[in-house]
Amino acid sequence: MAKRYDLIVFDWDGTVMDSTAIIASSIQSACRDLGLNVPTDEAARHVIGMGLAQALQHAVPDAPPHMHEPLADRYRHYFLAQDQSIPLFDGAAETIAELKEAGYLLAVATGKSRKGLDRVMDSSGLREFFIASRTADETFSKPHPAMLHELMEELTVDAERVLMVGDTTHDLQMAINAGVDVVGVTHGAHPEDQLRALAPLALLDDFHGLRAWFKANA
Protein backbone atom coordinates (compact mmCIF):
# COMPACT_ATOMS: atom_id res chain seq x y z
CA MET A 1 0.00 0.00 0.00
CA ALA A 2 1.35 3.43 -0.93
CA LYS A 3 2.17 5.69 1.97
CA ARG A 4 -0.34 8.49 2.60
CA TYR A 5 2.30 10.70 4.27
CA ASP A 6 5.98 11.41 3.78
CA LEU A 7 6.62 13.42 6.97
CA ILE A 8 5.32 12.69 10.48
CA VAL A 9 5.91 15.46 13.03
CA PHE A 10 5.72 14.69 16.74
CA ASP A 11 5.22 17.01 19.64
CA TRP A 12 7.48 15.97 22.54
CA ASP A 13 6.18 16.73 26.06
CA GLY A 14 2.97 14.83 26.77
CA THR A 15 3.14 13.10 23.38
CA VAL A 16 6.44 11.18 23.26
CA MET A 17 7.61 11.79 26.84
CA ASP A 18 5.41 11.44 29.94
CA SER A 19 6.36 14.83 31.36
CA THR A 20 2.98 16.53 31.88
CA ALA A 21 2.78 16.12 35.67
CA ILE A 22 6.37 17.27 36.21
CA ILE A 23 5.95 20.36 34.04
CA ALA A 24 2.73 21.34 35.83
CA SER A 25 4.18 20.79 39.30
CA SER A 26 7.34 22.73 38.38
CA ILE A 27 5.21 25.74 37.36
CA GLN A 28 3.29 25.52 40.62
CA SER A 29 6.42 25.15 42.77
CA ALA A 30 8.06 28.12 41.07
CA CYS A 31 5.01 30.25 41.88
CA ARG A 32 5.05 29.18 45.53
CA ASP A 33 8.72 30.09 45.86
CA LEU A 34 8.07 33.61 44.58
CA GLY A 35 4.84 34.23 46.46
CA LEU A 36 2.75 34.32 43.30
CA ASN A 37 -0.74 32.91 42.87
CA VAL A 38 -0.38 29.19 42.21
CA PRO A 39 -2.29 28.03 39.13
CA THR A 40 -4.60 25.04 39.34
CA ASP A 41 -3.53 21.73 37.86
CA GLU A 42 -5.79 22.39 34.88
CA ALA A 43 -4.33 25.85 34.26
CA ALA A 44 -0.75 24.61 34.61
CA ARG A 45 -1.37 21.70 32.24
CA HIS A 46 -3.17 23.85 29.69
CA VAL A 47 -0.05 25.87 28.80
CA ILE A 48 2.11 22.82 28.10
CA GLY A 49 3.26 22.94 24.50
CA MET A 50 3.75 26.70 24.40
CA GLY A 51 7.19 28.26 24.64
CA LEU A 52 8.24 28.80 28.27
CA ALA A 53 7.80 32.58 28.41
CA GLN A 54 4.39 32.46 26.77
CA ALA A 55 3.33 29.49 28.91
CA LEU A 56 4.23 31.17 32.19
CA GLN A 57 2.50 34.41 31.21
CA HIS A 58 -0.69 32.48 30.45
CA ALA A 59 -0.49 30.28 33.55
CA VAL A 60 0.37 33.16 35.90
CA PRO A 61 -1.25 36.19 34.25
CA ASP A 62 -1.01 38.38 37.37
CA ALA A 63 2.79 38.04 37.63
CA PRO A 64 4.31 41.50 37.10
CA PRO A 65 6.80 41.83 34.25
CA HIS A 66 9.80 42.06 36.56
CA MET A 67 8.92 38.60 37.91
CA HIS A 68 8.85 36.86 34.53
CA GLU A 69 12.54 35.97 34.43
CA PRO A 70 12.79 34.90 38.10
CA LEU A 71 9.71 32.74 37.53
CA ALA A 72 11.30 31.10 34.49
CA ASP A 73 14.49 30.51 36.47
CA ARG A 74 12.62 28.81 39.33
CA TYR A 75 10.67 26.70 36.85
CA ARG A 76 13.92 25.52 35.28
CA HIS A 77 15.31 24.73 38.74
CA TYR A 78 12.49 22.32 39.49
CA PHE A 79 12.14 20.84 36.02
CA LEU A 80 15.84 20.22 35.42
CA ALA A 81 16.12 18.43 38.75
CA GLN A 82 13.81 15.76 37.36
CA ASP A 83 14.01 15.73 33.59
CA GLN A 84 16.66 13.00 33.31
CA SER A 85 14.27 10.57 35.00
CA ILE A 86 11.17 11.33 32.90
CA PRO A 87 10.13 8.21 30.96
CA LEU A 88 8.98 7.87 27.40
CA PHE A 89 5.43 6.65 26.99
CA ASP A 90 5.17 2.90 26.64
CA GLY A 91 5.61 1.95 23.00
CA ALA A 92 6.97 5.34 21.90
CA ALA A 93 10.51 4.25 21.07
CA GLU A 94 9.34 1.12 19.25
CA THR A 95 6.75 3.01 17.20
CA ILE A 96 9.19 5.75 16.22
CA ALA A 97 11.83 3.21 15.22
CA GLU A 98 9.26 1.29 13.18
CA LEU A 99 8.14 4.43 11.33
CA LYS A 100 11.74 5.32 10.51
CA GLU A 101 12.36 1.80 9.23
CA ALA A 102 9.24 2.06 7.05
CA GLY A 103 10.70 5.07 5.28
CA TYR A 104 8.88 8.02 6.83
CA LEU A 105 10.68 11.27 7.51
CA LEU A 106 10.30 12.06 11.22
CA ALA A 107 10.55 15.46 12.88
CA VAL A 108 9.77 17.18 16.18
CA ALA A 109 7.88 20.44 16.78
CA THR A 110 8.00 21.36 20.46
CA GLY A 111 7.52 24.08 23.02
CA LYS A 112 10.89 23.13 24.49
CA SER A 113 14.01 25.20 23.97
CA ARG A 114 16.70 23.91 21.62
CA LYS A 115 18.94 23.12 24.59
CA GLY A 116 16.12 21.26 26.32
CA LEU A 117 15.16 19.22 23.27
CA ASP A 118 18.77 18.29 22.53
CA ARG A 119 19.19 17.10 26.11
CA VAL A 120 16.15 14.80 26.10
CA MET A 121 16.69 13.51 22.58
CA ASP A 122 20.15 12.37 23.67
CA SER A 123 19.07 10.95 27.04
CA SER A 124 16.16 9.07 25.44
CA GLY A 125 18.27 7.64 22.62
CA LEU A 126 15.82 8.88 20.00
CA ARG A 127 17.94 11.50 18.24
CA GLU A 128 18.95 9.16 15.41
CA PHE A 129 15.35 8.72 14.29
CA PHE A 130 14.55 12.40 13.65
CA ILE A 131 15.76 14.24 10.59
CA ALA A 132 14.72 17.73 11.70
CA SER A 133 13.16 19.66 14.56
CA ARG A 134 11.90 23.07 15.61
CA THR A 135 11.75 24.56 19.11
CA ALA A 136 9.93 27.50 20.62
CA ASP A 137 13.09 29.59 21.03
CA GLU A 138 13.86 29.29 17.31
CA THR A 139 10.57 30.42 15.83
CA PHE A 140 6.99 31.31 16.76
CA SER A 141 5.36 29.33 19.57
CA LYS A 142 2.34 27.09 18.99
CA PRO A 143 -0.35 27.42 17.76
CA HIS A 144 1.35 29.62 15.16
CA PRO A 145 2.05 27.41 12.10
CA ALA A 146 5.67 28.52 11.65
CA MET A 147 7.24 25.33 13.04
CA LEU A 148 5.40 23.17 10.53
CA HIS A 149 5.88 25.60 7.66
CA GLU A 150 9.63 25.69 8.31
CA LEU A 151 9.91 21.92 8.56
CA MET A 152 7.97 21.46 5.32
CA GLU A 153 10.23 23.96 3.55
CA GLU A 154 13.41 22.41 4.95
CA LEU A 155 12.40 18.89 3.96
CA THR A 156 10.60 19.82 0.74
CA VAL A 157 7.34 18.14 1.69
CA ASP A 158 3.93 19.47 0.71
CA ALA A 159 1.27 20.05 3.35
CA GLU A 160 -0.97 17.22 2.12
CA ARG A 161 1.90 14.76 2.76
CA VAL A 162 2.41 15.81 6.41
CA LEU A 163 0.87 14.41 9.59
CA MET A 164 1.18 16.06 13.02
CA VAL A 165 0.86 14.05 16.25
CA GLY A 166 0.20 15.89 19.51
CA ASP A 167 -1.50 15.86 22.89
CA THR A 168 -2.71 19.46 23.21
CA THR A 169 -5.08 21.84 21.51
CA HIS A 170 -2.00 23.95 20.73
CA ASP A 171 -0.61 21.08 18.65
CA LEU A 172 -3.90 20.46 16.88
CA GLN A 173 -4.52 24.14 16.20
CA MET A 174 -0.98 24.57 14.84
CA ALA A 175 -1.63 21.75 12.39
CA ILE A 176 -4.96 23.25 11.36
CA ASN A 177 -3.29 26.65 10.89
CA ALA A 178 -0.59 25.02 8.74
CA GLY A 179 -3.10 23.05 6.65
CA VAL A 180 -1.79 19.61 7.62
CA ASP A 181 -3.54 16.52 8.96
CA VAL A 182 -3.37 15.86 12.69
CA VAL A 183 -3.90 12.97 15.10
CA GLY A 184 -4.34 13.51 18.82
CA VAL A 185 -3.22 11.37 21.74
CA THR A 186 -5.18 11.46 24.99
CA HIS A 187 -2.40 10.43 27.41
CA GLY A 188 -0.99 13.97 27.68
CA ALA A 189 -1.85 17.43 28.92
CA HIS A 190 -5.27 18.32 27.50
CA PRO A 191 -8.61 16.62 28.12
CA GLU A 192 -10.08 14.43 25.39
CA ASP A 193 -13.16 16.62 24.93
CA GLN A 194 -11.01 19.66 24.16
CA LEU A 195 -9.01 17.69 21.59
CA ARG A 196 -12.14 16.21 20.04
CA ALA A 197 -13.63 19.68 19.55
CA LEU A 198 -10.87 20.39 17.01
CA ALA A 199 -11.84 17.33 14.92
CA PRO A 200 -8.51 15.51 14.48
CA LEU A 201 -8.40 12.55 12.13
CA ALA A 202 -8.26 10.27 15.16
CA LEU A 203 -7.83 10.33 18.94
CA LEU A 204 -5.74 7.48 20.32
CA ASP A 205 -5.23 6.52 23.95
CA ASP A 206 -1.61 5.39 23.69
CA PHE A 207 1.21 4.42 21.36
CA HIS A 208 -0.20 0.94 20.86
CA GLY A 209 -3.33 2.47 19.37
CA LEU A 210 -1.25 4.99 17.46
CA ARG A 211 0.90 2.25 15.94
CA ALA A 212 -2.20 0.38 14.77
CA TRP A 213 -3.63 3.58 13.31
CA PHE A 214 -0.43 4.27 11.39
CA LYS A 215 -0.45 0.80 9.88
CA ALA A 216 -4.06 1.15 8.74
CA ASN A 217 -4.13 4.80 7.69
CA ALA A 218 -0.69 6.33 7.11
Q: What is the mean pLDDT of residues 72-101?
A: 94
Note the pLDDT of residue 83.
83
102 shares its domain with 80? no
Is the peptide bond prior to 143 cis by the omega test (within 30 degrees of 0)? yes
Q: How many domains does the chain have?
A: 2
Query: Has 167 been annotated as catalytic?
Result: no
3-state secondary structure (DSSP) of residue 8 = strand
CATH for 31: 1.10.150
pLDDT value at residue 4:
95
Q: What pLDDT sits at residue 1?
A: 55
Asked whether residue 51 falls in the same domain as residue 94, the answer is: no
Which of helix, strand or coil describes residue 48? strand
Inform me whether the pLDDT recorded for 2 exceeds 80.
no
Quote the mean pLDDT of the chain. 95
For residues 81-94, average pLDDT? 93
Conformational region of residue 38, where left means phi above 0, alpha means psi within -120 to 50, and beta covers everything else: beta
User: Angle between the 92-101 and 207-217 helix axes, to the nearest 10 degrees?
Assistant: 20
DSSP 8-state symbol, 66 = G
Q: Residues 42, 95: contact at Cβ < 8 Å?
A: no
On whether the pTM is more than 0.85, the answer is yes
Which residues, 6 or more positions from 136, have their beta carbon under 8 angstroms from its beta carbon?
50, 51, 52, 54, 110, 111, 112, 113, 142
**Where is the domain boundary, 31, 59, 84?**
84
Closest CA to 14 of 122, 198, 205, 167: 167
Per-residue pLDDT, averaged over 70-90, amounts to: 93
Report the distance separating Cα 23 and Cα 29, nearest Å: 10
Percent of the chain with pLDDT over 70: 100
Q: What are phi and psi of 132, to 5 degrees?
A: -160, 165
Q: For 168-183, how does the pLDDT look when each residue is reduced to its tens digit (9 = 90+)?
A: 999 999 999 999 999 9
Identify whether residues 126 and 60 lie together within a single domain: no
Q: Is 206 in the active site?
A: no
pLDDT tens for 186-209 read 999 999 999 999 999 999 999 999
pLDDT band at 84 (very low <50, low <70, confident <90, very high): confident
3-state secondary structure 73-134: HHHHHHHHCCHHHCCECCCHHHHHHHHHHCCCEEEEEECCCHHHHHHHHHHHCCHHHCCEEE
Q: Which residue segment(s) compose the domain that 43 sits in?
A: 20-84
**Choosing from 11, 83, 167, 181, which is the catalytic residue?**
11
Same domain, 134 and 184: yes
Q: What is the CATH number of the domain that holds 191?
A: 3.40.50.1000
Out of 59, 84, 109, pick the residue that ends a domain. Answer: 84
